Amino acid sequence: MPSDSDNEGDTNAGQKIVVLDDGPYKVQGGVPLVRKTQVVSEYGEPLTWKKEEAIETADPYVLCRCGHSHDKPFCDAAHWETPFDAAEGAATGPTAERQRTYAGGTHIVVKRDDALCSGSGFCGNRVTNVEQMVPGTGDTQVRAQVMAMIERCPSGALTYAVEAGQADVEPDLPRQIAVITEITTAGPVTGPLWVTGCVPIERADGRPLEARNRVVLCGCGLSKNKPLCDGAHRTAGVKED
């Protein structure tokens, strides 16, 4: 989460992402932009994230939302030539109102909000998955693995608390936007825009999304849950130009 230091307000002042009507994302306030790549096992299982490089930007800058730009991740106005379905259907209410709790946890309360899921795959491997592991969290090693898998979930669809009624435990993530590359069986695929550190996001109709530590925004124009990613880029095999 962002630092609670006295100068945080000055550092983050004016930082936000605005979804432009039928257009790109406008990023204001100098939000850093980087590239990150999935690190996967020899079996293709997502394990963690690797930062590749920082991307130089202006202030403000605009990021492609339609998927047709030849200057990705930046917008080159391709949406004027090739219109796309820009309708925003993502829920704007608090995730706490939609979460369901996995039964059987010991010293951990695991929750899931299906409305946020982008299907990144960090919640499972070839043997098991978080939901199946929760009843075994009386074992400290199992519990630690569950926590690690949840904390690497880019969308924050999965969260955990130490006890019922307590606030969710969130990983300490920087305020930034990451252009992510996912490693699939078909090869590298350009994933969504991963926004971390509670950067405010405003829909095209002016309504704010809930400010959260982890958000994945659609960058291919194909999601049915815009402006959030629903994993449609994997089916399309989106590549960065």
What is the per-residue pLDDT for 235? 82
- Helices marked H in 17-164: 78-81, 130-133, 140-151
Phi and psi for 88 in degrees, rounded to 5? -100, 120
Tell me: the pLDDT tens digits for 36-77? Answer: 999 999 999 999 999 999 999 999 999 999 999 999 999 999
3-state secondary structure of 220: coil
Number of alpha helices (DSSP H) and beta strands (DSSP E) in the chain: 5, 12
Cβ contact 32:63 at 8 Å: no
1-33: pLDDT as tens digits:
444 444 444 568 799 999 999 999 999 999 999
In terms of Cβ atoms closer than 10 Å to its own Cβ (0-12, 13-18, 19+), residue 122 is buried
Cβ contact 188:212 at 8 Å: no
CA distance 214 to 195: 6
101-151 residue pLDDT tens? 999 999 999 999 999 999 999 999 999 999 999 999 999 999 999 999 999
Single pTM value for the model: 0.91
Cα–Cα distance, 239 to 162 (Å, whole number):
39
pLDDT at 237: 56
- Please give the residue that has the higher pLDDT: either 221 or 184: 221
